[in-house]
């Protein structure tokens, strides 16, 4: 079953360049991952220090495989080391509404 992953990051304005460098690296690597469908990157209008990623995956297992990969963990460790940056994850599945 396809899923959507929402990643919300808060980042001080003066640290955006460091964060975007890491995000660009993820953007180069994630399309090569098994089960990856698409992704988009958004910046909040109201909370200008918030950046969101919404990605679609064919299955939870595909996402978990990427999430647990050393490649992703290494990039996330660099993100985590940027002062003032926080990351939150939420995973959603599709539901029938009829």
- Look up the domain containing 23 and give its range: 3-93
With respect to residue 98, please indicate whether it lies within any of the assigned structural domains: no
Give the max Cα distance, the chain. 47
Q: Where are the alpha helices (DSSP H) in the chain?
A: 16-29, 60-67, 70-80
With respect to residue 22, please indicate whether it lies within any of the assigned structural domains: yes
pLDDT of 96 over the 90 cut: no
Q: For residue 49, what is the domain's CATH number? A: 3.30.70.100
Question: How many structural domains does the chain have?
Answer: 1
With respect to residue 86, please indicate whether it lies within any of the assigned structural domains: yes
pLDDT of 98 over the 90 cut: no
Rounded Cα gap, residues 42 and 60, in angstroms? 22
**pLDDT for 46-88, tens place per residue?**
988 999 999 999 999 999 999 999 999 999 999 999 999 999 9
Rounded Cα gap, residues 19 and 40, in angstroms? 16
pLDDT of 37 over the 90 cut: yes
Q: Which two tokens stand for residue 76?
A: 């996330």
Q: What percent of the chain has pLDDT over 90?
A: 93
pTM passes above 0.85: yes
């Amino acid at each position: 079953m396809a899923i959507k992953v929402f990643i919300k990051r808060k980042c001080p304005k003066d640290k955006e360049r460091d964060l975007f460098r890491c995000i660009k690296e993820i953007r180069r690597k994630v399309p090569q991952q098994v089960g990856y469908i698409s992704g988009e990157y958004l910046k909040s209008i109201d909370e200008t220090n918030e950046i969101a990623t919404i990605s679609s995956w064919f299955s939870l297992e595909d996402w978990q495989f990427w999430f647990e990969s050393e490649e992703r963990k290494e990039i996330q460790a660099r993100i985590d080391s940027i002062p003032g940056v926080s990351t939150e994850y939420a995973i959603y599945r599709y539901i029938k509404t009829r």
